[in-house]
Amino acid sequence: MSPHYDYIIVGTGTAGCVLAARLSEDPHTRVLVLEAGGPDRAMEIRIPAAFSKLFKSAVDWNFCTEPETNANNRQLYWPRGKVLGGCSSINAMIYIRGNRLDYELWKSLGNDGWGYDEVLPYFLKSENQERGSSQYHAVGGPQWVSDLRYVNPLTRAFLAAAEELGLVRNGDFNGEHQDGAGLYQVTQRSGARCSAADGFLKPAVHRPNLTVIMHAHATRVLLEGTSATGVEFVLNGTKQAATAQREVILSGGAVNSPQLLMLSGIGPADELREGGIYASVDLPGVGKNLQDHPMVSVGCFCTKPVSMANAESAKNLMRYLLFKSGPLASNVAEAGIFARTRPGLEVPDLQLLFGPAYYVNHGFDKRKEHCFGFGPTLIAPESRGEITLKSADPMAAPAIRANYLACDSDLRVILEGVKLCRRIAATKAFADYCGGEVIPGPNVRSDSEIAAFIRSALQTLYHPVGTCKMGRDEMAVVDSELRVRGVDRLRVVDASIMPRITTGNTNAPTMMIAEKAADLIRAHS
């Protein structure tokens, strides 16, 4: 391994894969990518319906929050991808860009160049849209975006039920309008997962100027004064270091990027000193502004044997292996609704996911009966949490305080979502399928009972962002070009730079952030 590179990228999650591919397009640019996890060889990564089997496995950081005050003091499980492709290798593959006004808000917060019309070209640059090109879509990019090859009859009933309730059908959540009910498009190619590693990194990995080192756990950004010069990491139990001639780029995500900054002495000075870390650069916003999309599961018995309860049968496995079709090609959360729970909102505050399966407690809780389920999700949270260090040991997990439901308005949105689930299950469209409610159950009726259920069952929808936020205020960590304030030659490029979370799944916006960042970086080379 040459110790000298132009760029060192920490992390092969979605952003890291995009950056590695784009920056190494210049054959005169030497790029090193460090990944704490290993290769993405597990069959469960390839098979869409198997994603939850990757949770708490060797490809998962397996994080937990600190006890959540407003969720019955429970420590909530947070899966994060520790593997080539990061979370794009273990997620449910839903391709959602968010709302046009998300990016207008980013711009209004002092982030020039991040308005919707300015970021749309970067969404298009990544995309290889199965439906073909249009005003909002493009073909020829590295990231495949496809229609589901399998749609369960229960999902068709869900869409019919939404129409029965007066919700508009939306054939493209990434088009002109976001509101309504529709099928999700997914990051799949020919019925198999297409992660950021598949789309971006693997086609580039054979370039002689691109080096990817797996099982390399970054422990510190090396500084000379206030200039980043390289990265220290542990490989096979041995401490090593690599030098960056141009820039160090952190792409570890909303948990690992702020942790690495703080371990390097970049963060809230008082907190770092208390933890025994010398504060090289006092940046009070590092680790703050944590946002996520919390959800609960609402499940019903299904009176017909049409759910995904039998998805793993020998017949269905052969159908998938031979033809890449059938229930195993499903991403489980096949369809959804974007809605506004009260008048006057500029963007939806509720995303309601639907799956023809019993999906409770991240898929760990099992039932033999056929069931279907909803996932009412808060997508415009007002509550804010933080990431802090538990220890100066770089191998120790940081402290995650999501601070879910700290604002009463957040609880109210999910409560309205539970009620909407029940209205959908009671429609004529579900009359032939619904055999009664499993969770929260018929005894949970009043608002106070539903609220108590939410506090007892709340979980993450896997979208933490915001802990190295972009902006101009004193709590901003990076500027509008994603350069870390007060540190030369250091950027953060991942979902942590979002000043406010997008209204929907965060994988596609993270891809866009990295595409734009690659241009910003090359402009300074």
Locate 522 and state its tokens. Answer: 């090359």
- C-alpha span between 334 and 148 (Å, rounded): 8
Question: What's the rounded Cα separation, in Å, for the pair 377 and 503?
Answer: 10
How far apart CA 358 and CA 93 sit, in angstroms, is 18
- Which one-letter amino acid corresponds to residue 81? G
Please give the full DSSP string across 91-117, using - where no structure is assigned: S--B-----HHHHHHHHHTT-TT-SHH
Segment 100-106 long-range contacts (CB within 8 Å, at least 24 positions apart)? 100/178, 101/346, 101/347, 102/347, 102/500, 102/502, 102/503, 102/509, 105/499, 105/500, 106/470, 106/498, 106/499, 106/500
Cβ neighbourhood burial of 4 (10 Å; 0-12, 13-18, 19+) = exposed
Residue count (the chain): 525
Q: Tokens for 501, please give them.
A: 């979370």
Q: Tabulate helix, strand, coil % of the chain (nearest 5).
A: 30, 25, 45
Q: Cα separation of 406 and 5, whole Å?
A: 45
**Which tokens hold the place of 178?**
């976001």
User: Residue 93's CB: how many other CB atoms inside 10 A?
Assistant: 24
Query: Residues with Cβ < 8 Å from 11, sequence gap 6 or more?
Result: 33, 34, 35, 36, 86, 250, 251, 252, 253, 256, 257, 494
> Is residue 253 within 8 Å of 80, Cβ to Cβ?
yes
Longest Cα–Cα distance of the chain, Å, equals 69
Catalytic center residues: 463
H-state helical runs in 231-338? 253-263, 269-274, 314-323
> Taking a C-beta distance cutoff of 8 angstroms, is the pair 275, 391 a contact?
yes
Q: Are strands 31-35 and 4-10 parallel, antiparallel or unpaired?
A: parallel
Distance between start and end Cα atoms, the chain = 23
Q: Measure the CA–CA gap between 110 and 105, rounded to whole angstroms.
A: 9
